[in-house]
């Protein structure tokens, strides 16, 4: 090929590549806008190239448009009707909302300040590297974790329910980008929403598996445009969880301990439902749950006699709580002595990391780290599988 012909071909290729590059730049961005707004809106641009895929969660869903996302929350509070939220890229014009989106709340994203109604939301911010958006919490005394406490120490985080009741005037005056509830419904929240502060629910606790609950890191990420980080975090955690569960459930079935849960209250026993995430964790850790055939997803109550009928011979007792010793347990309920697990000292609670004010790290970090919860349970159920691992949350109730 002659020099001039070769030069002509190379120039043509370069022109084509430049055109393709310009076309790609016009069609979308390389990454989501995680801070600030877009300067010049282009209706042809996909502003959310980083998207999440929902794998395990069943309570929320997301659909992507070019400049906004439609988030559907199937149950914003127990038994409540579905809600839809429109997450609009900051700097983009408000889209016409018709049909099932008529009246939907619009939340500009990425948010810059968050009032969090539950401590379970806070580790998600830490995992996403976005703790700086936290500006409000239910009570400051509930806080745990180095990153969260460091943020609170700046003085930029306010308690909006220091007296145990949400103060709508305080919230409205502070005007956060978003108020995320723990799945409650009240007149105070309605007043906050009516005043123009976006209020959205977070009901991860209604999910039936630990992995589904953990996937709510993607839910919070949607409001921060941090989908790429959330997808990576969840994929890595799920891989660890599945690998450990496979190891535990590969043990012979006749070595799986019989497991009971809960505690007695006024003659009844609060248990984990057979369709709850706790029941799923027990099975994934290689345990046989005494109420596996129960159809409840939450924490139902049964008569103490019914619990004795099912769990008198259980090998291991988990998820009671507030007990300093086996001896003091009998002060609450003398019939605890009728359970084999109590007599053999196999009573375990998740109170290894608590604060003097009553905060419990289990009710904060465990939601987004079920792989660590599973590891604790595997060490209890099958100690030889993880001989060198230290417990994260669980501890054995001492005799005295």
Q: For 262-279, how does the pLDDT look when each residue is reduced to its tens digit (9 = 90+)? A: 999 988 999 999 999 999
**Lowest mean pLDDT, pick from 144-148, 304-308, 378-382:** 144-148
Separation between Cα atoms, residue 173 and residue 119, nearest integer Å: 22
The per-residue pLDDT for range 56-67, each reduced to its tens digit, is: 999 999 999 999
Poorest-pLDDT segment among 79-83, 304-308, 337-341:
79-83
> Which range among 16-20, 43-47, 120-124, 330-334 shows the weakest confidence by mean pLDDT?
16-20
Give the model confidence (pLDDT) of 333-360 as tens digits: 999 999 999 999 999 999 999 988 888 9
For the chain, percent of residues with pLDDT exceeding 70: 93
Residue 2, pLDDT > 80, answer no
Q: Taking a C-beta distance cutoff of 8 angstroms, is the pair 273, 226 a contact?
A: no
**CA 15 to each of CA 1, 4, 12, 22, 26: distance values in angstroms, whole numbers, following the listed order:** 20, 16, 5, 11, 16
Same domain, 201 and 261: no
For residue 358, being part of any structural domain is answered with yes
Nearest-10 crossing angle of helices 227-249, 216-224: 170
Higher pLDDT, 101 or 7: 101
Q: Say yes or no to pLDDT of 20 above 50.
A: no
What single DSSP character describes residue 210? Answer: H
On whether both 210 and 273 belong to a single domain, the answer is: no
* The last residue of a domain, from among 183, 206, 233: 233
Q: What is the DSSP letter of 61?
A: E
Q: Give CA–CA dist 82/201, Å, rounded.
A: 11
Of 5 and 192, more confident: 192
Residue 162: both structure tokens together:
């220091």
Q: Which of 169, 198, 233 is the last residue before a domain boundary?
A: 233
Are 102 and 225 contained in the same domain?
A: yes
Residue 99 clears pLDDT 60, i.e. is over it: yes
Whether 137 and 260 share a structural domain: no
Both 80 and 171 in one domain: the answer is: yes
Q: What long-range pairs does 187-194 form, CB within 8 A, spacing at least 24?
A: 192/166, 192/168, 193/105
**Position 204 pLDDT exceeds 70:** yes
pLDDT at 5: 52
Q: Is residue 37 in a domain?
A: no
Residues 299 and 228 in one domain: no
Other beta carbons within 10 Å of 249 = 16
Both 64 and 189 in a single domain? yes
Query: Residue 72: its pLDDT value, please?
Result: 98
* Residue-wise pLDDT tens digits, 162-202: 888 999 999 999 999 999 998 877 889 999 999 999 999 99
Q: Is the per-residue pLDDT at 21 higher than 60?
A: no
Same domain, 212 and 256: no
| Domain end point (choices 233, 268, 300) | 233
pLDDT at 24: 36
Which backbone phi and psi does 166 adopt, to 5 degrees? Answer: -60, 135
Q: Quick check: is 81 in a domain?
A: yes
Rounded to the nearest integer, the mean pLDDT of the chain is: 92
219 within some domain: yes
Residues 120, 180, single domain; the answer is yes
The b-or-e profile of 309-338 (16+ CB within 10 A means b, else e) is: ebbeebbbbbbbeebeebeebeeebeebee
Shared domain check, 209 and 79: yes
Neighbours of 362 (CB within 10 A): 22
What is the band of 6 on the pLDDT scale with cuts at 50, 70, 90? very low
CATH code at 205? Answer: 3.40.50.1980
- The model carries a pTM of 0.89
Number of domains the chain is built from:
2
User: How, if at all, do strands 68-73 and 83-89 pair?
Assistant: antiparallel
Say whether both 224 and 278 belong to one domain.
no
Q: 9 in a domain, yes or no?
A: no
Look up the domain containing 167 and give its range: 60-233
328 lies in the same domain as 281: yes
Instruction: Tell me if the bond preceding 110 is cis, omega within 30° of 0.
Output: yes
Confidence of residue 28 (pLDDT cuts 50, 70, 90): low
pLDDT at 18 over 70: no
Q: Cα–Cα distance between 174 and 197 in angstroms, integer?
A: 10
pLDDT of residue 184: 76
């Amino acid at each position: 090929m002659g020099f001039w012909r070769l030069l002509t071909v190379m120039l043509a290729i370069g022109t084509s590549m430049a055109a393709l590059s310009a076309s790609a730049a016009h069609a979308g961005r390389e990454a989501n806008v995680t801070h600030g707004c877009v300067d010049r809106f282009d209706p042809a641009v996909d502003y959310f190239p980083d998207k999440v895929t929902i794998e395990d969660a069943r309570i929320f869903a997301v659909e992507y448009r070019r400049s906004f996302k439609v988030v559907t929350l199937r149950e914003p509070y127990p038994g409540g009707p579905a809600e839809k939220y429109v997450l609009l890229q900051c700097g983009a014009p408000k889209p016409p909302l018709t049909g099932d989106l008529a009246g939907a709340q619009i939340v500009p994203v990425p948010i810059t300040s968050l009032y969090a109604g539950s401590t379970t939301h806070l580790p998600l911010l830490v995992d996403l590297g976005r703790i700086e958006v936290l500006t409000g919490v239910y009570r400051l005394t509930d806080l745990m974790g180095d990153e969260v406490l460091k943020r609170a120490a700046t003085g930029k985080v306010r308690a909006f329910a220091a007296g145990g009741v949400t103060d709508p005037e305080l919230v409205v005056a502070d005007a956060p980008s978003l108020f995320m509830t723990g799945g409650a419904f009240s007149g105070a929240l309605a007043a906050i929403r009516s005043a123009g502060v976006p209020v959205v629910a977070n009901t991860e606790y209604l999910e039936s598996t630990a992995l589904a609950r953990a996937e709510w890191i993607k839910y919070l990420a949607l409001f921060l445009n941090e989908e790429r980080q959330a997808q990576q975090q969840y994929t890595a955690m799920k891989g660890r969880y599945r690998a450990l569960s496979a190891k535990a459930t590969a043990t012979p079935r006749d070595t799986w301990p019989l497991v009971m849960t809960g505690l007695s209250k006024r003659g009844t026993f609060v248990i984990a439902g057979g369709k709850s995430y706790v029941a799923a964790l027990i099975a994934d850790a290689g345990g046989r749950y005494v109420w596996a055939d129960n159809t409840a997803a939450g924490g139902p109550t049964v008569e103490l006699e019914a619990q004795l009928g099912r769990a008198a011979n259980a090998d291991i007792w988990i998820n009671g709580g507030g007990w300093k010793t086996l001896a003091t347990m009998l002060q609450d309920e003398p019939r605890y002595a009728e359970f084999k697990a109590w007599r053999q000292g196999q009573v375990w609670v998740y109170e290894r990391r608590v604060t003097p004010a009553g905060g419990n790290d289990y009710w904060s970090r465990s939601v987004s780290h079920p792989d660590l919860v599973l590891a604790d349970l595997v060490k209890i159920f099958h100690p030889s599988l993880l001989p060198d691992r230290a417990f994260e949350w669980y501890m054995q109730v001492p005799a005295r």
